Amino acid sequence: CKILRCNSEYVAATLHLRGPDRGSAFCTALRSYSLCTRRTARTCRGDLAFHSAVHGIEDLMIQNNCSKEGPTAPPRPQPPAPNPHGFESIDICDYERSFLYKHGRPPGFQHCAAFGDPHIRTFHDDFHTCRVEGSWPLLDNDYLFVQATSSPVAKGSNATVTSKLTIIFKNMKECIDQKVYQAELDNVPAAFQDGSVNGGTRPGGSSLAIREHSPGRHVEIRADYIGTTIAVRQAGRQLSFSIRAAEEVAQAFTEEQDLQLCVGGCPHSQRMSRSPRGRGRVPTETARALCREMLPVEDVYFQSCVFDVVTSGDANFTMAAHGALEDARLFLPDAEKLHIFQ
């Protein structure tokens, strides 16, 4: 069944059609789409995507007053002439648009976060509380390297917090120069290490950009050329990291790049229970009351908040868990996976 090819050709033919004047060209593309589905009807009889496409074409033709008889579009538009920068189109630095053009559907996305003690939510929706001290890679793939440096949350405590984040956006020939972003406690800049706020002078340089949401407290880095958005926050005496990454980007690594907390979570030897034990710096019930104000659902974000407030005695950790939950709300492709219960 070649329905995905039909979808892809239709998307390619209509990608640049906009506004009220698109009429005849849009109808031509729809007739071509319909012809493509008819040619593949025999092999696609049991395919759900095929039947969805057929019904969708009928609806679109009615909505746009398209006649079933008339010219059909060529299967693919002619590629644009090469531009002076030596590649076909600057759209190569718009990952989502390029993916849609190639595959006839939007890309899938994955979410990872590290906040508080640190607690890690992996790309596979596993959730760990980690003892990790020193520097550990959150991500290490063909496009990104992210390293978190942790230190003890309080003197004599086994618990640690992220005190430094280093993010390397690796060189991508057509789009960006290599860029390094670094945040430390009380220094969450709205610029890369070289002082720039975008991907440099290359034609697709604007496909990497930093935006400040709250001065010194919350920045967002959009890397459109790899379909990725990163949020870095400071709440109290800890940094947090959240990412929404295209599946293809998140999975672009080799066997040698096997230690990535966002992929496999923290190693077994570094995992901690979130059940408060012994004497904390704040009574558990007090911590629960504080966390419930920000996190009414008693999921892993709530449990993590209680653990952090009991361990550190710092009520600001309620903001760390709340920020991580808000990032997840924005970044998760499936809203039903927002809350994790363990």
Question: For 95-130, what is each residue's pLDDT tens digit?
Answer: 999 999 888 889 999 999 999 989 999 999 999 998
3-state helix, strand and coil shares in percent for the chain, rounded to the nearest 5 = 35, 25, 40
What's the pLDDT at 136?
92
Strand 119-121 relative to strand 109-115, pairing:
antiparallel
Using the CB atoms, write b or e for 37-74: b if 16+ within 10 Å.
beebeeebeebeebeebbeebeebbeeeebeeeeebbe
Query: Is there a contact between 152 and 162 (Cβ–Cβ < 8 Å)?
Result: no
First to last CA, the chain: 42
**Measured at the alpha carbon of residue 212, what is the angle toward residues 208 and 218, in degrees to the nearest 5?**
110
Give the three-state DSSP class for 119. Answer: strand
Residue 69 has pLDDT above 90, yes or no: no
Instruction: Indicate the domain borders of the chain.
Output: 3-64, 109-271
Per-residue pLDDT tens digits for 139-171: 999 999 999 998 887 666 666 789 999 999 999
Helix axes of 284-294 and 300-312: crossing angle, nearest 10 degrees: 130
pLDDT tens for each residue of 246-255: 999 999 999 8
pLDDT for residue 281 is more than 60: yes
Residue 90 reports pLDDT greater than 50: no
73 or 204, higher pLDDT: 204
Of the pLDDT bands very low, low, confident and very high (cuts 50, 70, 90), residue 257 is confident
> Dihedral sign, CA of 115, 188, 147, 202?
positive
Q: Which residues of 200-232 are buried (b: 16+ CB within 10 A; e: fewer)?
A: bebbbbbbbebeeeeeeebbbbbbbbbbbbbbb
Mean pLDDT, residues 126-137: 89
In this structure, what DSSP letter does residue 148 have?
A: E
The CB density around residue 155, as the number of other CB atoms within 10 Å, is 5
Q: Which of 300, 247, 309, 317 is nearest to 282 (CA)?
A: 309
Q: Distance between alpha carbon 59 and the CA centroid of its chain, in Å?
A: 33
Residue 96: CB atoms within 10 A of its CB come to 13
% the chain with pLDDT above 70: 90
How far is it, in rounded angstroms, from Cα 324 to Cα 114? Answer: 8
What is the Cα–Cα distance from 53 to 58, expressed in whole angstroms? 9
Specify the range with the lowest mean pLDDT, choosing from 62-76, 206-220, 298-312: 62-76
What one-character DSSP code corresponds to residue 104? S
Would you tell me how many other CB atoms lie within 10 Å of the CB of residue 18? Answer: 9
Task: Select the more confidently predicted residue: 341 or 231.
Answer: 231
- Mean pLDDT of the region 280-288: 89
Residue 241 CA, distance from chain mean position: 12
For residue 134, pLDDT over 70 is answered with yes
| Torsion angles phi and psi, residue 242, rounded to 5 | -135, 145
Note the pLDDT of residue 20. Answer: 59
- Work out the angle at residue 100's Cα, subtended by the Cα atoms of residues 94 and 101, and round it to the nearest 5 degrees: 90
**Residues 39-49, mean pLDDT to the nearest whole number:** 81
Residue with tokens 């950790």: 317
Other CB atoms within 10 A of residue 130 CB: 22
Confidence label for 44 from pLDDT (cuts 50, 70 and 90): confident
> Where residue 76 falls among pLDDT bands split at 50, 70, 90?
very low
The pLDDT of 207-231, averaged and rounded, is: 96
Write down the pLDDT at residue 78: 42
Q: How far apart are CA 34 and CA 53, in angstroms?
A: 9
Q: What is the reported pLDDT for 158? A: 64
Q: What is the mean pLDDT of residues 316-333?
A: 94
Thinking of the domain 109-271, which architecture would CATH place it in? 3-Layer(aba) Sandwich (3.40)
Q: What is the pLDDT of residue 109?
A: 96
Task: Evaluate if residue 278 carries a pLDDT over 70.
Answer: no
Q: What is the DSSP letter of 198?
A: B
- Whether residue 137 contacts residue 146, with contact meaning beta carbons closer than 8 Å, is answered with yes
Residue 230 confidence (pLDDT): 98
pLDDT value at 336 more than 50: yes
Mean pLDDT, the chain, whole residue set: 87
